[in-house]
Amino acid sequence: MAGELRHRRVPSEDGDGDKGVVASSQRFDSADGSSKAGTSSSGGAGGEGAEPRREKRDALGWLEWGRGWIAVVGEFLFQRIAASHLANPLELPPLDGVSIVVTGATSGIGLEMARQLALAGAHVVMAVRRPKVAQELIQKWQNENSETGRPLNAEVMELDLLSLDSVVKFADAWNARMAPLHVLINNAGIFAIGEPQRFSKDGHEEHMQVNHLAPALLASLLIPSLLRGSPSRIVNVNSIMHTIGFVDAEDMNLRKHKYKSWLGYSNSKLAQVKFSSMLHKKIPAEAGISVVCASPGIVDTNVARDLPKIVVAAYHLIPYFIFDAQEGCRSALFAASDPQVPEYCEMLKSEDWPVCACINYDCNPMNASEEAHNLETSQLIWEKTLEMIGLPPDALEKLIAGETVQCHYGQQEAE
């Protein structure tokens, strides 16, 4: 495996790795020198020493933005070297009796994850828009695995993330089984390169809905099943592109700001990190639900056309640096299956780290972007997200307590 996760903490800027996660927190600075990490609102973690409320921003500072792009380019150039110690495919522990939902499991890294998890013995639920394609894949894997004589425990359930009604329907169907769910992998996502801005029938910008809002609703509504499967995990497949994103809670659908497809994508991925971090902080430790964001690296897909020309040229001229799906799924598989992950999440929670556990493409901890550490804006994103997905502000608390929650979408109750 990838080694001792709990000992591989995010390094501090001065290189001192012996002071623990909180002591090694980066005090990020914006272009005007204001501090970003660890800042909280009066009701958040920070107590009496919390900094005064800052003036509202509507974009990243130029220094933050530049550091974000350096991170993107650095990942492109060095990911294969950094991950050279990993086995390919990643070795998985036996997963018999473990139920795992994987969204977007008919292509790319989602397909590869579903296949490897099923081969490891897990009960895999392929949550997809095209059930027929998923059924064909299961049959193909079964045929390829026929020599072992062991049938794969995989099934298909329909889920369309462009419809929040579909998300509620899926969650209701799974919760009705009264069965435990051990892992939810929110893998499905879109990056509509160069395409004009589009909105779902629910009225949300498509990147924001598919990459953030729908997964947030799915994770929230499946809390009862995740509690039954405790210790359980929510794994959100994220991206290094979150480092160049900025989310305005008052304009998450980018109706007021100038739209670019890369901006819609990066903003949605940052929103996912911020919501995940608040979910991580708000779920009681005794609930036993770990929340993780996993970055797959830059994987062989056709998503680079809208990036800066120098990145596009490198993307197409130096394919050696790009991961294939089998390599790209390793971080999410690690986050979903390695026994060290819950311990790492508990450590971050106990030390009041402002961001949820983030696993890099090399299966090591990574530090999220500077803006991701802003607890004040993360709380705003949390509140606005719940409003946009039709859940009341106290939905999480009620679901954990086993109470009924009414969702605006689906016109059905989640219990």
The CATH number of residue 250's host domain is: 3.40.50.720
Q: With pLDDT > 70 as the criterion, what percentage of the chain qualifies?
A: 81
* Residue 14, pLDDT above cutoff 50: no
Question: Is 41 a domain residue?
Answer: no
Q: With pLDDT > 90 as the criterion, what percentage of the chain qualifies?
A: 73
Q: Which range marks the domain in which residue 62 is found?
A: 56-401
What backbone torsions phi and psi does residue 119 show, to the nearest 5 degrees? -65, -25
Question: Is 6 a domain residue?
Answer: no
- The confidence score (pLDDT) of residue 26 equals 35
- The confidence score (pLDDT) of residue 249 equals 96
8-21 average pLDDT score: 41
Question: Is 22 a domain residue?
Answer: no
d(CA 110, CA 327): 12
**Residue 88 pLDDT level (bands cut at 50, 70, 90):** very high
Question: Is 147 a domain residue?
Answer: yes
- Which whole-number Å values give the CA distances from 358 to 57, 323, 343, in the listed order? 25, 19, 13
102-127 average pLDDT score: 97
* Options 259, 265, 344, 409, the catalytic residue: 265
Question: Is 377 a domain residue?
Answer: yes
- The confidence score (pLDDT) of residue 335 equals 98
265 is catalytic: yes
Structural domain total, the chain: 1
Question: Is 319 a domain residue?
Answer: yes
Question: Is 5 a domain residue?
Answer: no
Question: Is 413 a domain residue?
Answer: no
